[in-house]
Amino acid sequence: MSTRCWTDCEGFYRRDFLTLGAAGLFGLSLPDLLRLEARSAAPSPGPKGRRANAVILLWLGGGPSHLDMWDLKPNAPEGIRGQFKPIATKVEGVAISEHLPKMAQVTDQATIVRSLYHTIPSHGPATVFMTTGNKPTPALQYPSLGSLVARLMPAEPAVPPYVSFSDIRGGAAGQAGYLGTAYNPFGVEGAGGGKGGGSLKVRGVSLPAGFTLEELENRNALLEGFDRGFQALDRSADLVEGLDTFHKQALEILRSDKTKKAFDLSQETPALRERYGQTPFGQGTLTARRLVQAGVRFVTISLGGWDTHGKNFDTLSKRLLPQLDQTLSALIQDLSAQGLLEHTLVYCAGEFGRTPKVNKNAGRDHWARSMSVVLAGGGLRRGYVHGTTDAQGMAPTTDPCTPDDLAATIFHCLGIDPHQELRTPTGRPVQLFREGKVVQKLLA
């Protein structure tokens, strides 16, 4: 596994693929387990009208440059248009970067949103906005999109609803917020890159070395005994109503082979693995497809290093764009070939775009007033470009939309009312996306 990492301009380190700490589920102390959300209400099934059953989020941490990827301005002045040339795609009249040739061949199966914008040019708060669909506030920690899906669209028994291959700015942006720990992601450990395939393990799916399922179940009984003891001591504490939800899910997964088989990339042909790319990002994305096939509802995987204040064009052309081009195009093609694209929504995004003006270090700086994302499948239009920006890519000129609009649209495709209310542990009602509006033009 690669240990190479990058730091954004705010001093936060990113990795293409995160190895989570060894203190996973079975390293938790009894107080940690007791704090998990056993008291959370049982999630209700999704309503009728669902177009998508699952979401795969490819997170480009750092802020990818829309002007050098999806929204080139070849007629802009030299200090704005950059070094890359546009190339034609399979959609007539639509051009993207010359360094995304494989994506140019699948644009007829995707949607490019060029008119996305917000007003937060700082990594942390912008990441929260994009990954939760809510503007950040110190008064409330909003749950990630994946945690909301885990709460509102429970997976089949023995399958984790929400799996994360990656840490998004320290993990907070990908966590459950006011929903509680029960709806945090199951975190992946290990690496899947390299010719040998590596190994992938998910917390709750692989037992620690020397630890048997029988021993775990004995510990389970011990914990339940402690729970009853605590309840007898203070029934008003509302601390535990039984074994926590997260731990129960882990036990179900351990008793089943379904999720473990999804992580076995040896079941795929060498040719398909090569198509995704023999990198942790590529192999992790292939595993994401297998997890969705097994019934997982939401998978997040990250490719970091997009905070290109310097050497923007070298970094993009030599490292980032070739990886993204290979892996994202392979995912869209593979989902289509497997008959999964119609009901799987792919979402490729970062926290903001980059400045139209190239700086003195051949880089681009933070720019939230215009940005681009790519969507595919899950009931969305195909071969469609939504919105436009002005001649220099500074701001939307037609069909502007915001992160909460996209979140509302994604949840509409999942058959979930984006304005329904959930309640915080203190009983406060909170709409999923208070200001988000479904973007009807994005729907098939």
Asked if 358 contacts 40 with a C-beta cutoff of 8 angstroms, the reply is: no
Domains of the chain: 5-17+45-205+256-442 (3.40.720)
Token pair belonging to 401: 């939309």
User: pLDDT tens-digit profile of 165-174?
Assistant: 876 765 567 8
Q: 177 vs 13, which has greater pLDDT?
A: 177
How deeply is 122 buried, as exposed, middle or buried, from its count of CB atoms within 10 A (0-12, 13-18, 19+)?
Answer: middle
Query: What tokens does 351 get?
Result: 């926290």
* Mean pLDDT across 203-211: 53
Q: How far apart are CA 47 and CA 230, in angstroms?
A: 38
Q: Has residue 205 got a pLDDT over 60? A: no
Confidence of residue 230 (pLDDT cuts 50, 70, 90): very low
Report the pLDDT averaged over residues 230-244: 41
pLDDT at 28 over 90: no
CA 279 → CA 17, 51, 250, 390, 439, distances in Å?
9, 31, 28, 36, 35
User: Maximum distance among all alpha carbons in the chain?
Assistant: 74
Residue 349's DSSP bridge partners are 59
Mean pLDDT of 415-419: 97
pLDDT tens per residue across span 288-332: 999 999 999 999 999 999 999 999 999 999 999 999 999 999 999
Q: Residue 228 has what pLDDT?
A: 52
> What average pLDDT does this structure show over 46-71?
91
pLDDT of residue 48: 60
Min mean pLDDT across 34-48, 187-201, 309-323 is at 34-48
pLDDT tens-digit series, residues 80-113: 999 999 999 999 999 999 999 999 999 999 999 9
285, 297, 284, 294: which is closest to 262 by C-alpha? Answer: 294
* Distance between CA atoms of residues 418 and 178, nearest Å: 17
pLDDT at 179 (0 to 100): 92
Q: Answer whether 321's CB lies under 8 Å from 69's CB.
A: yes
CB 314 within 8 A of CB 25: no
- Rounded CA separation 8/442 (Å): 32
List beta partners, residue 110.
376
Closest CA to 396 of 387, 409, 385, 407: 387
For the chain, how big is the Rg over CA atoms in Å?
22
Beta-strand relationship, 366-367 and 86-88 = unpaired
* DSSP string of 76-119, one letter each residue: S-HHHH-SPPEEE-SSTT-EEETT-HHHHTTGGGEEEEEEE--S
Mean pLDDT of the chain: 83
Place of tokens 């008119």: 115
pLDDT of residue 214: 61
pLDDT of residue 221: 56
Mind spelling out the 3-state secondary structure of 257-288? CHHHHHCCHHHCCHHHHHHHCCCHHHHHHHHH
The CA distance from 193 to 303, in Å, is: 14
Distance between CA 289 and CA 396 in Å, rounded?
33
Average pLDDT over residues 381-396: 98
